[in-house]
Chains A and B, each alone.
Chain A
Amino acid sequence: MKALAELLKGIRPEFDFSASRDFIADGMLDSFDMVTLVSTLDKTYGISIEGTDILPENFSSLETIAALLRKYHVAL
């Protein structure tokens, strides 16, 4: 989970993701950031997140992102 937090920090260094329960509602990630995050996750973990999974609810917290990665057999 720490690696995931670091990865988010790399995309939006100005935000403290550990202080948020909902990155979308708190204005920390927008639709364009999600596209960047998907690309970063794909490269970092050697996966290909499908378009049908690019939904705000899958990127709203560290837990939901981790759950999405588990679906692609990524062990965190």
Chain B
Amino acid sequence: MVAIESVSEVAEAVVRAKAGGLSYCSNVFTDPRKLQCWIERGEFFREEAGGAALFLRRDRDFWHLYFCAGSPTQLRDAVCAAPRLKTEPVVVDLVGREDALDCLVEAFREAGFKGYQRLFRMARIDQAGALTAVPSDPRVVVAGPMDCQSIEEVLLQSFDRRAEQIPLLYEIEAAVRSGQIWVARAEGALAGLLYFETHGLTSTLRYWLVAADFRGQRFGSELMRRYFEASNAVRRFLLWVVADNHDAISKYEHYGFLPDGLVDIVLANEIIRP
């Protein structure tokens, strides 16, 4: 396994894999700026085998696998041949239309991976127009540097770190600097948060939660209202939700989100126990 030193190294590996077969497959959808950050922090590695390139990104106590291959068969053979995938805890996200993922799921199952979680994407499409002004709850504010540690703790307590891409502390700090996290503070504690990423006309709602002790006090609705209010140039809102989290799904539907057909099938190798 070799540490990756530049984004172009990833691009070159992708081109080689694309040339290696007629049924190119990949889960490398990552923004180059994010890749650059992983590389600079020494979190991103690669292995190449046959017609496939495998990339491993180190997370807290496990690895995310990214791949590109000329075909699902080449992918399966590469995964089987990579020693690191037998000894380290690894998860892989397969993203796309569900029916298009069957052959990839099969390739990973044959290589020893098993189902871990399933998420699907929901979207809300907005029309341009002014929002109605509503008095704001002063307890809901843009997060500051002193909130970062608490935000990481509450995310790790509330979400599945292997399936829901919990950002590392430095990523949370960057999001705070960019004003992309709103928090609700009450009784000296972090009562709730809303974490988003806006890119032009599209915004992804990454995490929205209210701590158990503070539910029923309208923090959740206030966080969401402030998010939409601050995103009035956005036309498309997206989010990913765990498929069996019916409580969250019904709340998102209340805010106008609907499934848009994309799924994320998360598989894990045998080192990871569900």
Contact = CB atoms under 8 A, between A and B. Distances in A.
A52 B198 CA distance: 28
B202 A35 contact: no
B29 A31 contact: yes
Interface range on chain A: under 10, 10 to 19, 20 to 34, or 35 or more? Answer: 10 to 19
Interface in A26-50: 26-28, 30-32, 35, 50
B125 A51 contact: no
A4 interface: no
A30 B197 CA distance: 13
A52 B15 contact: yes
Contacts of B203: 27
Give the size category of B's interface with A. Answer: 10 to 19
Nearest to A52: B18
Contacts, number: 35
A28 B199 CA distance: 9
A30 B29 CA distance: 9
Nearest to B70: A51
B125 A14 contact: yes
B115 interface: no
A25 B18 contact: no
B95 A26 contact: no
Interface string A7-18: 000001011000
Contacts of B236: 12, 14-15, 27
A52 B239 CA distance: 29
Contacts of A31: 29
Nearest to B95: A32
B201 A28 contact: yes
A35 B24 CA distance: 12
Interface of B: 15, 18-19, 24, 29, 95-96, 125-126, 198-203, 235-236, 262
Interface of A: 12, 14-15, 25-28, 30-32, 35, 50-52
The 10 A-B residue pairs whose C-beta atoms are closest, nearest first, are A27-B200, A51-B24, A27-B202, A51-B18, A31-B29, A26-B200, A27-B199, A27-B201, A14-B125, A52-B18
